[in-house]
Amino acid sequence: MSLEVALRHKLGAFALDIAFSSPGGLTALFGPSGSGKTSVIDMIGGLMRPESGRISTDGRVLVDTATDTFLPAHKRRIGYVFQDARLFPHLTVRQNLTYGRRFVAGAERYGDFDETVALLGIGHLLDRRPAKLSGGEKQRIAIGRALIASPRLILMDEPLASLDDARKAEIVPFIERLRDEARVPIVYVSHSVAEVARLASDIVVLDRGRVSAAGPARDILAGLDLLPGAAGDEGGSRLLLNFARLDAQSGLSLFQSPAGNWHLPPSAHRPGDRVTVFVKASDILLATKPLEGISALNVFSGRVTALRPTRAHEILVDLDCNGDLLTARITRHSAERLGLFEGMAVQAIVKTVRLKES
């Protein structure tokens, strides 16, 4: 389930020179507008031919300019969700959705029609044609069309950009399931760090046609400064939690990790289930002594392992809470006021309502 990409290509004045490999899971391509994200997945998808380079999945070579290999798009079994939906205007929504299905042997099908339709909330549109659908409706159908074709590699180009938060919140878990259960590698282009943080197992950061950072999501998200511009605001840490129980009294889900006990919004799990949470660095409040009478339910004792200055007025504080590694972002002013130093014992405090499972 791996993907290896190495590409060089010139597009007018724009030069693309990219190499990364992904061990499977969901690889996010992240970078500012015009950095080459769409071009890269066009080449993975077989819509563009790189001037030189090689792309392979699980040893299957899709392109290799050295041996003049070029597998045409329709033999790649990719599901491509385009930045513009590109629905077939002459077909009904239903026909659009099932278009790719016939090319997949029954045994290899995994994108169930009814389930996908229900999830995307497009059941009432099945007999319409795309022209007069709203922007978000089109995009949902484009997602469905790619998934129902049960591809072996999924390419998604900002699939959620035109969806409202509620709809996003419904679809994101679906993409997670796809990543985890169907074991289909996904290459996911997004501007949204929140999405990337939640979904990505690996992140490739592009900048003006080059890879400026690449690696497991955990590392990239923690190395916040690597993310360009305002995206840094969204960085944080990802932790693995064990489900303990649904607390009858508070109505909250209780989890455990080396750091201690976690309170999260309610969710259906069985004891022992493991989930990940993403804790935004800017959501962590630090305190130098135990606090009382505060509304926040998640308080962990830890030790400062590093102080990393970031923008002019801010600083990143790496914490080790009994083995769980967290990063907090606070003002330098606060850090000075609190007299933080490496090795100092502190409390990390997070509000329950700011936490979400992923």
Partner 1 sequence: MEWLQLSPDEWTAVRLSIWVASWATAASLPFGILVAYALARWSFPGKAFLNGLVHLPLILPPVVTGYLLLLAFGRRGPLGQFFETVFGLVFSFRWTGAALAGAVMAFPLMVRAIRLSIEAVDPRLEQAAGTLGAPPAFIFATVTLPLALPGIIAGTILAFAKAMGEFGATITFVSNIPGQTQTLPSAIYTFTQVPGGDAGAMRLTLIAVAVAMAALVASEILARRVLRRMEGA
- 36-65 binders of ligand ATP (CB under 6 A): 36-39
Gap between the Cα atoms of 250 and 352, Å rounded: 12
Q: Is 328 in the site for a copy of itself (CB under 8 A)?
A: yes
User: Is 12 one of the binding residues for partner 1 (CB under 8 A)?
Assistant: yes
Of the candidate residues 2, 52, 69, 288, the single one contacting a copy of itself (CB under 8 A): 288
Of 149, 153, 152, 146, whose CA–CA distance to 171 is shortest?
146
Query: Both tokens of residue 308?
Result: 């990393």
What are the two backbone dihedrals, phi and then psi, of residue 122, each rounded to the nearest 5 degrees? Answer: -120, 15
Restricted to residues 130-149, the positions that interact with Mg ion (CB under 5 A) are: 134-135
Residues 92-131: x where in contact with partner 1 by CB under 8 A, - otherwise, as a string: -------xx--xx-----------------------xxxx
Three-class DSSP category at 312: coil
Q: Which of 22, 35, 190, 201 binds ligand ATP (CB under 6 A)?
A: 35
Q: What are the DSSP calls for 86-125, one per residue?
A: ---TTS-HHHHHHTTGGGS-GGG----HHHHHHHHT-GGG
Nearest distance from residue 255's CB to ligand ATP, in Å? Answer: 35
Does 270 bind partner 1 (CB under 8 A)? Our answer is: no
125-to-114, 148, 172 alpha-carbon distances in Å: 13, 16, 21
Strand partners, 349: 285, 299
In this chain, which stretch among 131-139, 249-257, 308-316, 335-343 interacts with ligand ATP, using CB under 6 A?
A: 131-139
Instruction: With contacts defined by CB under 5 A, name the span among 64-72, 78-86, 307-315, 327-335 that binds Mg ion.
Output: 78-86
Q: Is 45 helix (H, G, I), strand (E, B) or coil?
A: helix
Q: At what angle do helices 113-120 and 165-177 cross, to 10 degrees?
A: 150
**Quick check: 12 binds ligand ATP (CB under 6 A)?**
yes
Q: Which stretch binds partner 1 (CB under 8 A): 39-47, 63-71, 115-123, 192-200?
A: 39-47
Site string for a copy of itself, 137-156 (x = CB under 8 A): x--x----------------
258 binds ligand ATP, rule: CB under 6 A: no
Q: Judged by CB under 8 A, does residue 23 bind a copy of itself?
A: no
| Interaction between residue 134 and a copy of itself (CB under 8 A) | yes
Are 255 and 265 contacting, i.e. CB atoms less than 8 angstroms apart? no
Q: Is 268 in the site for a copy of itself (CB under 8 A)?
A: no
CB–CB of 50/38 below 8 Å? Answer: no
Among 25, 31, 36, 45, binds partner 1 (CB under 8 A): 45
